[in-house]
Amino acid sequence: MKLTMVVVLYKLKPEESKTFQTLSRIINSNFNSCHDIELILYDNSPEKHDFSSPRHEGIHITYKHDYRNLGIATAYNHAWSMAKANNSQWLLLLDHDTELTQEYFNSILNISNVPEEVAAVVPKINSENTMISPVYSNSLRPLKEERPSPGIQDRPVMAINSGALISVNFLNEINGFNEDFSLDYLDHWLFFKIYEKQKKVLLIDVTLEHELSVLDYTRVSLQRYQSILDSEVNFYQNFKKDLVSKYRMQLAKRFLKQVLTVKNKEIAFLTLKRFFTL
């Protein structure tokens, strides 16, 4: 199986990335199993980092610096174009802070006989002892509901980008990643498109740990929260239209909760402003 992998970096040297660190250890211990793999390190940092690519037979590692920091969609589209050029069957998406495991990597390398209807293969993702991905996508509060079980998901689900293995043929069908979702809600859009195109998601019985800072308002800047709000509105107004009214109600509830519990009241103000302009 030909595989292209992309790790998107920001203000980190490749060697400082938890993803690259764990991936390097796994590759070194699986030297004989790693063949026909293209690894792209796409660096959105303001300054280019010095990087000497380690040599691994069967693995080609490239480092690309993009000072423009246009987000992950641009990085993913670059990786998609590379995957097509390399005749890869799958594109593996990775953030810089996902802790990969031997079990996960073996599962990815040994993916075979996947039904043609499967457009994505995803692991279970935990953050701070909570399973955050995948989740069913018919709710605005999926973390409060049951989680999917391993296997092919007939009922629509949404999974976070990092750790997701995406069919290159499917990406060709939808013309790659939507750069209107440069950072936030790109995963919502992608998995919405999977089910819109009557494709499926395969959940493998492997768990990864991932730090999701957007779960904690103390770690989210006003600029990032504004980006999240803008992307949310774009997604629900133009794609998941059946949930628009419920989303507006959720904004009202979120505002009240933020007023009571979030120290930075400007965050609550942004939520209220979005409520009245939706």
3-state helix, strand, coil in the chain (%, to 5): 40, 25, 35
CATH assignment at residue 15: 3.90.550.10
Q: Which of 191, 213, 235 is the last residue of a domain?
A: 213
236 and 102 fall within a common domain? no
Are residues 76 and 17 part of one domain? yes
pTM of the model: 0.93
Coil/strand/helix, residue 123: strand
Q: pLDDT tens for residues 182-222?
A: 999 999 999 999 999 999 999 999 999 887 666 578 778 89
Q: Which of 189, 213, 237 is where one domain is finished? A: 213
Indicate if 141 and 246 belong to the same structural domain.
no
Structure tokens at 249: 């109600």
Domain range enclosing 256: 216-277
Residues 234-263 have a mean pLDDT of 95
Spatial distance between the Cα atoms of 133 and 189, rounded to a whole number of angstroms = 15
Opening angle at CA 161, ends 53 and 28, nearest 5: 30
Q: What is the pLDDT of residue 35?
A: 67
**45 with 147, same domain?**
yes
Number of domains the chain contains: 2
Residues 145 and 168 in one domain: yes
Contact present, 191 and 157 (Cβ < 8 Å): yes
Q: Do 101 and 130 belong together in one domain?
A: yes
